[in-house]
Amino acid sequence: MSLWWSLTDHPEFATKPLDQSWDVVIVGGGFSGLWCAHHLNTINPDLKIAVIEQSTVGSGASGRNGGWASALYPINDDKMISHFSAEIIASLHTQLRESIDEIGEFARSQDIDCDFHKGGSLQIARNAAQMSRLRDGLEDGYILLDESQTRAKINMNGAIGAAFTPHCAVINPAALIVGLALSLERRGISIFENTTATFSADNQVIVGDRFIAANAVVRAIEAYHANTREQLPIYSLMVATQPLPDHVFDEIGIANRETFAENAHLVTYAQRTADNRLAIGGRGAPYIWGSRRSDANESLAGMHEQIRVMARRWFPILRDYEFTHAWGGAVAVTRDWAAYVRFDGKYGELGGYAGDGVTLAYLAAAAMADLVTHKETRRTKLPFIQWRSRLWEPEPLRWLGVNAAIKLSEAADTEERVTGRPSILMKLLAPITGQ
């Protein structure tokens, strides 16, 4: 179980008959599905909306992520610029930043105790190669910190610099999703848990052997859309410490609960929780043949241990403390690493957030609500609108390429540690990693 669910009670939702017709049926009770219901209800409170969730709300990635409500977008600007104007790309970044504040404001206005705190984020360099990549790739909204400025914020072993942005908040994602779901129920939206939906060939929703009548249908199942060449489930694993005494954070820093990551090729991410734990995540779990999902990939003991070892390398003081939680989940990665929000007038689908979905799902869902209600807004001009990535390669090429990329990312980090120069291996892998 994720740390977040161990700290958060799951509510009971009133049960109603599903056997009726709806204005909108949303399949998937994560951030995408629930925010979609929220935005639709904000546009038109009279819409009759059902959310169908196969397990419980937030049981997917939304209730087990790293809790970074960041303004990150998975694809770089220099990749987007060949398809979109600089104004549209700038608007995407602006809207992502605004979305963080809107999530915080929503939580405040609804009295949702999800520990939202906007302390910014640090991308930390621990060797010369990581530092030069930070410097070269410094984006708008980030400032470069030298070693002493970095250490004033975070005392990470070996840190020689960092990029800091104020545009990131921490949350307990399970608490946010419970608060969001309860707010939807109060507003008359029906949530059906433990109800699995399938789709007919013409994208109608089927539950059991019944078609559910709806004017519009939204598929919001992100990485659960598996066994396809449209996207891959890539696994991210996390661990969390016991609550740490104050003197530990006197040594470590992150006094403003800045999120942080090492600027390595193999993705890492961490937050200081409201109850003074460190929750730390990393990628590196193998990709499964055929883009299949497997719960076993969420609890790989070796991967969890690797993250604990990394954490103690960052902060040797952690050797004296226990790690109490270990969990994981999948994120969806499209071939060009771009997210998508598509609607054909009756059927819509959104996802492909590649591990940046906490804020992005809020914005993507707002755009989906605009499309469903036929509104033209600044959101319906964003790069993910009606975006269709090319397909991943057929097997065995996909399996070979993706697993090689995961392994070589690890090797590239070692190469950079040893040489101090940006990895040549990673340049070769750019077509797969999207970077």
Can you give the binding site for ligand FAD, defined by CB under 6 A? Answer: 27-33, 52-55, 59-62, 64-68, 70, 196-197, 220-224, 236, 238, 269, 281, 328-331, 351, 353, 355-359, 361
The least CB distance from residue 298 to ligand FAD, in Å, is: 8
d(CA 220, CA 36): 9
Three-point CA angle 304, 306, 311, nearest 5° = 95
The least CB distance from residue 271 to ligand FAD, in Å, is: 7
d(CA 79, CA 434): 8
165: left (phi over 0), alpha (psi -120 to 50) or beta: beta
The least CB distance from residue 168 to ligand FAD, in Å, is: 9
Q: Specify the residue, 260 or 423, whose C-beta has the smaller distance to ligand FAD.
A: 260
The residue at minimum Cβ distance from ligand FAD is 357
Q: Specify the residue, 64 or 97, whose C-beta has the smaller distance to ligand FAD.
A: 64
d(CA 85, CA 63): 35
The least CB distance from residue 358 to ligand FAD, in Å, is: 3
Question: Both tokens of residue 193?
Answer: 């848990």
Q: Specify the residue, 154 or 358, whose C-beta has the smaller distance to ligand FAD.
A: 358
> How far apart, in Å, are the Cα atoms of 428 and each of 17, 306, 334, 424, 433?
55, 25, 19, 7, 10
On whether the CB atoms of residues 20 and 163 are closer than 8 A, the answer is no
The least CB distance from residue 423 to ligand FAD, in Å, is: 24
Going edge to edge, which strands form the sheet with 340-343? 190-192, 49-52, 22-27, 214-219, 347-351, 340-343
Question: Both tokens of residue 206?
Answer: 């089927």
DSSP letter for 154, please. Answer: B
Q: Specify the residue, 221 or 318, whose C-beta has the smaller distance to ligand FAD.
A: 221
The least CB distance from residue 428 to ligand FAD, in Å, is: 27
The least CB distance from residue 396 to ligand FAD, in Å, is: 26
Q: Specify the residue, 269 or 392, whose C-beta has the smaller distance to ligand FAD.
A: 269
The least CB distance from residue 158 to ligand FAD, in Å, is: 23
In this structure, what are the phi and psi dihedrals at residue 50, rounded to the nearest 5 degrees?
-120, 135
Q: Specify the residue, 40 or 131, whose C-beta has the smaller distance to ligand FAD.
A: 40
Q: Specify the residue, 80 or 361, whose C-beta has the smaller distance to ligand FAD.
A: 361
Q: How many Cβ atoms sit within 10 Å of the Cβ of residue 283?
A: 21
Half-sphere exposure of 18 (CA within 13 A, CB side): 22
